[in-house]
Amino acid sequence: MKLYTVGILGATGAVGQEMMRILEERDFPVGKLVPLASARSVGKTVKFKGQDVAIELACDEAFEGIDIVLGAAENDIAERFAPAIVKAGAVFVDNSSAFRLNPDVPLVVPEINPDDAKKHKGIISNPNCSTIITCTAVNALNAISPIKSMVASTYQAVSGAGVAGMAELENQIAALLEGKPAEVKTFAYQIAYNLIPQIGGEQEDGYTSEEMKLHYEGRKIMHLPELNVSCTCVRVPVMRSHSISVQLHFDKPVSVEEARECLAKAPGVKLVDDLNAKQYPMPLDTSGQDIVYVGRIRPDLTDPNGLCLWCCGDQVRKGAATNCIQIAELLTK
């Protein structure tokens, strides 16, 4: 078996650390791990397969000899180093949004469009976390009848804002229980015991940048260039796993029974759908694993060609780190 030299750009962040755990969990054929970060982290170590691995400085020269670079950094860092990664001959599997809508860069969810990864020119993009979860949940239904449009509301955990988001929720709850004011740093408002109906800045027609990701990325991933998606993104006081309420509008009617049968066999999906037994997807159940749970499947009372459903998935794993590594696995086949 060929072994690969794997770099992680942004190795000290929440997604970078998760990538290392999942590489080990999935027994990815790593011959050498190269964790890369900024100067302030150089000299520190990370654990991989029981060994301490020194963090190296992310610079143009660092990518020489690396086969695959997993990107877990922000857009500016991805854009800064992408040319050097490609020039060094590595494939850059990038979790940032920097290249997602570039027509020359594949945007891949392996359960949906694995063949697109083969078309790469040195860069493959990992989609937005809510986009991955939603598209994994609904894509199989598109084979029954083409999806014409979709209305989605995402309920996004604080870990979507990284370690700082999780710490802010914990600190605010602790402070409020002690009768102290909640300190607001990471989010625009107090998140403890609250909902914030904005993620990202305004992009177009009153929709935020986060909301438009499902619209544009969904088209590209599912090969539905005419798909229209109206999305509302809400930050919720949940530690981990995003939840999405979805209304689907099809070209022709799809029955609840057809949908359940289809989703029960869909890759990357677990059907959890028994309202009488109080069985449905919840963030507590999906956290820490890689399957998207789908349930609450029912007719859309506003559209005879519509269905409603609810799905949940771990946005740090399947919505980011695991999907990146699944893409990297495609490169080894």
Residue of 220, 331, 319, 248 lying closest to 14 (CA atoms): 319
| Annotated catalytic residue within 120, 215, 242, 249 | 242
- 215 included as an active-site residue: no
- List CB contacts of 119: < 8 A, sequence separation 6 or more: 106
Residue of 212, 169, 175 lying closest to 187 (CA atoms): 169
- Retrieve residue 246's tokens: 């979805």
- 242 included as an active-site residue: yes
Helix 14-25 / helix 322-331 crossing angle, nearest 10 deg: 50
| Burial degree of 6 (CB within 10 A; 0-12, 13-18, 19+) | buried
Q: Give start and end residues of each alpha helix (H) in the chain.
A: 14-25, 75-87, 129-138, 162-177, 209-222, 256-264, 283-286, 322-331
| Annotated catalytic residue within 129, 135, 233, 312 | 129
CA geometry: angle at 45 spanning 39 and 46, to 5°? Answer: 115
Q: What is the DSSP string of 158-227?
A: GGGGHHHHHHHHHHHHHHHHTTPPPP-SSSSS--TT--B---S-EEETTEEHHHHHHHHHHHHHHT-TT-
Catalytic sites, residue numbers:
129, 242
